Amino acid sequence: MSDGRQTSDQGLDQIIGDEAFDITGFDTLAVRAGHHRTAEGEHSEAMFLTSSFVFKSAAEAAARFGGSEPGNIYSRFTNPTVRVFEERLAALEGGERAVATSSGMAAILATVLGLLKSGDEVVASQSLFGTTNVLFDKYARKFGVTTRFVPLSDIAAWEAAITPATRLFFVETPSNPLGELVDIAALSALAHRHDILVAVDNCFCTPALQRPLALGADLVIHSATKYLDGQGRCLGGAVVGPNKLMEEIYGVVRTCGPSMSPFNAWVFLKGLETLRLRMEAHSAQALQLATWLQAQPQVAAVHYPGLKSHPQHELATRQQRGYGGVLSFELKAGEGQSGREAAWRFIDATRVMSITANLGDTKTTITHPGSTTHGRLSPEAKAAARISDGLIRVAVGLEDIGDLIADCQRGLAAL
């Protein structure tokens, strides 16, 4: 597994204060990229909490609106604080451009609306976040975009699902909540042979642990709400990719309005500054907890790519720079007890972990996917995604690992 301090694949001419330097180090980009100081000389990035911007003349206003002159117009689609976040995230992912959105789901929706039309088809993983599944299977279908769902890791299944109308492959890797992976390079090579775009939801790894564009993907999707923030404070999302594709997605945000607020962008900027440090800490904690859970007789299975028992451990080691902070596990139900009853008893007995469906927080969170994040899926879709009634997801935070293990012991004692 490569070092988390690995530099980006290309030098990026970034602005630090008023001087230009060729920056390649991930941590330097995370702290400095995109910051253009104002005449006030501020050290921290400024928050531009304004809905609109003033023009020097009617002619300048016309030029801005007409696109012949760059500059700020209206914060729905041009805001300096949001722009710094976009530039910094694009630098970290090694992409030409990022477009920020109001949430991770808005980022996916903007991608669908910007790049697809009626009659197009998507091939997506069966192992998607529940709401993402609903977006494709219900709402995109209303606009004439159909989706075929295939097993995430099976490249042959992706190939078999291609039709002349296929325009997009959409994946989460690692997946939510089972931590399944797909070989991004192999999937991208397959897609590009058929002129198909590849979008990777990089929520679980972030660019600190995985850079899909460098592996051949066309687009990277983020829920900035998760690890990019890191403390559960704000909602936001983003799409990263080449200028040509991003211009279409930007047009959706400009016209339809799923925009990121400047305040949230500023919060995310502060989160990016510590991203690598946090992701390494989350990964280390999660591996310790997964290893402990795997040794408990009441636990039937633990799903975490960092475990050598994980069927794609080798791929995770090769494709990622760490294994992430999310794990899931299945309990052995007692006599006369359903899997759901066992899972709920375990969850209700915990005292340190927060019972919430969010993840990517410094605080450890625990949830029952079958009745929360994936609760709207049909029984058939749950079965295809292997969401069992006894499955519990834990997003491991930064508390003392001894306290987290003790909390799990309370959960097991309640079975």
pLDDT tens track for 2-56: 443 333 343 344 444 444 456 779 999 999 999 989 888 999 999 999 999 999 9
Nearest-angstrom CA–CA distance, 369 and 411: 17
Would you say 167 and 144 are in contact if contact means Cβ atoms under 8 Å apart? no
**52 CB contacts (<8 Å, ≥6 apart)?**
73, 74, 75
Per-residue confidence (pLDDT) for residue 379, from 0 to 100? 84
**How confident is the model at residue 189, as a pLDDT?**
98
Residue 104's CB is within 10 A of a number of other CB atoms, namely 25
Place of tokens 């594709």: 245
Tens digit of each residue's pLDDT (9 = 90 or more) over 215-225: 999 999 999 99
Give exposure, 297-329, as e/b (b: 16+ Cβ within 10 Å).
ebbbbbbbbbbeebebbebbbebbbbbbbbbbb
Average pLDDT rounded to a whole number, residues 113-127: 97
- At which residue do the structure tokens 């834990």 appear? 394
pLDDT confidence bin for 114, thresholds 50/70/90? very high
Predicted local confidence at residue 17, as pLDDT:
42
Query: Can you list the domains of the chain with their CATH numbers?
Result: 12-272 (3.40.640.10), 276-413 (3.90.1150.10)
pLDDT for the residue numbered 21: 52
Evaluate if residue 63 carries a pLDDT over 50.
yes
CB 385 within 8 A of CB 377: yes
State both tokens at 336: 């006369």
What are the φ/ψ torsions at residue 239 (nearest 5 degrees)?
-125, 135
Predicted confidence at residue 13, as pLDDT, reads: 41
Lowest-pLDDT choice from 274-288, 292-306, 360-374 = 360-374
Query: CA 171, CA 111: separation in Å to the nearest integer?
Result: 13
CA separation for the pair 213, 239 (Å, rounded) = 12
Of the candidate ranges 16-20, 198-202, 214-218, 225-229, the one whose mean pLDDT is the lowest: 16-20
Would you say residue 133 has pLDDT above 70? yes
Q: Is the Cβ–Cβ distance between 345 and 339 less than 8 Å? A: no
pLDDT at residue 283 above 80?
A: yes
Burial category of 119 from C-beta neighbours within 10 Å (exposed 0-12, middle 13-18, buried 19 and up)? exposed
Mean pLDDT (the chain) is 93
CA distance 226 to 230: 6
Coil, strand or helix: which one is 394? strand
Query: Which residue matches tokens 């995430």?
Result: 152
Please give the Cα distance from 162 to 181 (Å, whole number).
Answer: 20
Query: d(Cα 323, Cα 308) in Å, to the nearest integer?
Result: 11
pLDDT of residue 363: 98
